[in-house]
Amino acid sequence: MDAVISPDVRRIAMLSAHTSPLEQPGNGDAGGMNVYVLELARRLAARSVEVEIFTRATSSEQPSIVEALPGVLVRHVPAGPFEGLGKEDLPAQMCTFVRDVLRAEAARPVGWFDAVHSHYWLSGQVGQVAADRWGVPLVHSMHTMAKVKNANLAAGDAAEPAGRVAGEQELVEVADRLIANTADEAAQLVGLYGADPDRVDVVHPGVDLDRFRPSDQCAARAALGLPLDADVILFAGRIQPLKAPDVVLEAAAQLMAGARRDRTVVAVVGGPSGSGLDRPTALVELAASLGISDRVRFVPPVAQDRLALWYAAASIVCVPSYNESFGLVALEAQACGTPVVAAKVGGLATAVHDGVTGMLVDGHDPADYAAAFAQVLDQPGLHASMRTAAVCHAGRFGWDATAERTLAVYERAVAEEAIAAVRSLPTAVGQ
């Protein structure tokens, strides 16, 4: 029988190659994963686990090292031109990235990091090399998967390349532990990529329950310059086909076809991203073509505290994405007491309790979303009960629980690595 090994996880190298956790979510490549990485690191540091986050430098003015929080360092690693590189250009820069990651560790005592946690497939390519060189386990979080995205493409969106599919497949085979956001994602890892179920752990992302909490709707609307008696429909996130903001506008236009036009306001908070950068004014043009420009407010990405104000001000938050590994926007909105109308895809089926904290919609027909909006808005009793239930539901997903479960995954990976090392030792003669 193997000896019981009690791992002591003290330091984690966290890799977020293509986007910095210090970037403003809602624009470019910055989104829920940025929030995830920083909040997880914050909660791990509170548990006396030091975290160093390695990310690609995107400006010559960025300091090489930033203490983002006590116990959390962010290293901006030069890899390719600072500006002008799209996410599709980054695979060619990963050799340079991994070189500087290894250099950073080489300046430390041997055995400095206990494990590597990589986020998204690009980071996983770096994580494989670093974990192997340092002799520590690799824990990987996909966040999104090419095979899933390609099976649920929005009109006009580009398919993920074969190189990404191959990279993800390799990661599934070599990572010591895989973290899935939901049971649905775990099933996709097993079914689509052939992952070993015994190496997949389900850890739900969290929500900052101190920042996102119920507050006075009238006060929030007054602060944002919104009518106090309006039906406010909010979309918050990156503006790209994957997130389907066009569905929100088309559904709202149908909702406003009758007498309720003057009491409806649509707010779109976010900036162009991904293939949405090809037509950055497409959503503004769509609003004009639908004849609802006067009822739509376009707002650039905002800081988290300001975003909480928008959630509080909204009557409904709509998340009609074609794919979401979880859907932090849905969870944050519910934590603020706002019902959510969302697509019944991916992690949104976990993030939203259908019929209780909001409505899940099959497909992306604007008419179906308009009907869901009307159902929630036209029944004050239902809306009130959803507001109450939403807060309770979101309360189950605090970041502290995420950190505890993730730390348990690290400890399991370290213990398994130690046991494997013991088993590989030659047996002494005569024993």
Binding residues for 1D-myo-inositol 3-phosphate: 18, 29-34, 87, 120, 144, 164
What one-letter code names the amino acid at 422? Answer: V
Tokens of 388: 């109450």
- Is 134:12 a contact under the CB 8 Å cutoff? no
- Cα separation, 299 vs 293, in Å, equals 13
Residue 343: phi, psi to the nearest 5?
A: -70, 145
Residue carrying structure tokens 């309790």? 353
Binding residues for UDP-N-acetyl-alpha-D-glucosamine: 24-25, 32, 238, 243, 302, 324, 332
Binding residues: 18, 24-25, 29-34, 87, 120, 144, 164, 238, 243, 302, 311, 314, 324, 332, 338
Measured CA to CA in angstroms, residue 105 lies from 102, 133, 287 at distances of: 5, 10, 51
- Cβ-proximal residues to 180 (8 Å cutoff; 6+ apart), any chain: 142, 186, 188, 189, 200, 201, 202, 203
DSSP summary character for residue 79: -
Binding residues for Mg(2+): 311, 314, 338
- Cα separation, 251 vs 70, in Å, equals 45
- Cα separation, 404 vs 388, in Å, equals 27
- Cα separation, 157 vs 136, in Å, equals 38
3-state helix, strand, coil in the chain (%, to 5): 45, 15, 35
- Cβ-proximal residues to 250 (8 Å cutoff; 6+ apart), any chain: 286, 290, 366
Burial zone of 263 (CB within 10 Å; 0-12 exposed, 13-18 middle, 19+ buried):
middle
- Is 305:223 a contact under the CB 8 Å cutoff? no
- Specify the DSSP element, H or E, that contains 318: strand 316-319
- Specify the DSSP element, H or E, that contains 232: strand 231-236
Tokens of 331: 């969870």
Provide the 10 A C-beta neighbour count for residue 427. Answer: 6
Residue 128: phi, psi to the nearest 5?
A: -60, -45
